Chain A
Amino acid sequence: MSHSWGAAIRPRHALASVVVPGTVQSIERAAAILQVVAASGGTLGVTDIAESVGLAKTTTHSLLRTLLHVGYVEQDRTTGHYAVGAGILRLGSHLDVNELRARSSNWADALAARSGHAVRLATLAGEDEVVVVHHVFRPDDSVQVLEVGTALPARTTALGKVLLAHALGHRTPRAAAGTWAGELAEVRARGWAVDRGEHQPGRGCIAAPVRGPGGMVVAALGINGPVTSLFDGRGAPRGPLLGRVTDAASAVSRELGASGA
């Protein structure tokens, strides 16, 4: 690659000629930087990149730092050179559900073992349903059936509430308390959801969001069981259960490469 990158790079000050009124300047600049970084095959440092795109070194540096933060570029620790990051490679392909299961498996097992409840991981399928993509049995060796592939209603399950709360188009600002939009806003703000017998009488669930690279919520992870063993008399999650669910969801998010999870 390194012998040919020069030809692919726009001439100096190229950006001035491609800026179109009404576009966002920093995104255009970031895109130009990504093109240069990709074409260089990881052989350029900040000075060369700034020169290639015709920007001040400080501006280029702050754009590169942002790209580094979201995983779109990576920096070699010894040379300081920049290369295309794993985040950008993942852009074209959505997160495969089977990949999701493989990457979450250890954490889901640990959550079931520690909580004593069955664990399910689900993704959104349309507006009204979620699909179970991974299921770990309740660790009591009773007869249980693998629920992978089962569709569940989104509005009455904790898994569904987590996913709807973070789905695009559901980000209603300043929703009134006590309304459906208000409940989703609350789920979004506190980072977990519950259902107490809304889907099946006597059965409940506690769930938290799993985030992928870039911070998008890609799945919900939750435990389910009898309402009385999950919640106390006032309807709050019992003892350490909530922390175990949110910790496990964060661990899977880290595994998937979400930053700050």
Chain B
Amino acid sequence: MIEIAHLYKFYDQRPVLNDVTLSVQEGSIMGLLGPNGAGKTTLVSILTGIIPKDRGQVFVNGWDLDKDLKSIQSQCSIVPQSFAFYPTLTAYENLLYFGALYGLDGRMLKARIDRAVDIGSLQAFLHKKAEKCSGGMKRRLNLAIGLLHNPRILYLDEPTVGVDTQSRNYILEMIKKINREQNTTIIYASHYMDEIEHISDDIAIIDEGRIILHDRKEAVLTHTGKVSIQVESLSTSFCDRLKHLEGLQIGPKGILVDRNERFHTNMMQLFTLFEQEHVEIKDMTFGYKNLEDLFLTLTSVTLRDR
């Protein structure tokens, strides 16, 4: 459904997306996990045509992003992290306005609004000004607007930020329902690991603009077949020297080594390079307890102040 190859994006010559290669299966939910500033929003913004990419190729449903942006945009919808609606309009007025912008009118518009209202359980505050609604209600409205034109792909950028547990669970169930009933492909960007673990079929971990791990959820969570090596930091040049080794997943603070047939050769070469480059090994573990454990190993995010 979505194929991304060697995607780059720079801001002031600083790469915010660095050689991102990723594929998303039709009808799946892909959890895009990464700390704040990792590049999640930039990636989603490029995929929805909000900002242009600098290098690389993106195909959505067979359409080239460079050539068929309009076709792609007609099939997808973004629910941004911020509330993308007008606070002084009522929920219904917002739905009516965005529905019209999506090109809907008449009975079709009414039917789609009814459906969005139903999915988001917006009935109780439909004629209330959006600014007067609770955080959970606003999040549901934000999501409901994104469903109006029946998108085949739904990009959700931190859709549960600032809501209570009840609303959060409701939103997650709502997303699962949309995926299940309409076979909508969902890209769910978040830094909440439990949400990603709960909702996703596939998980991609992104940090400092790189995809450092991408696999089926089960495979990610059962990475006992891998060895995790934590180091102080890895320079870009060092990472480049490791690229030719198969079965490695490289992050700025650590490396995952597959226990495949090349495991021994890879480990030997790694230790030789560590010695040559004076890279200090901080820790070495086999397997992970959960996604958070894996995430922290790969990104060392707790130590970073972003």
Partners in one complex: no
Task: Identify the B interface with A (CB < 8 A).
Answer: none
Task: Identify the A interface with B (CB < 8 A).
Answer: none
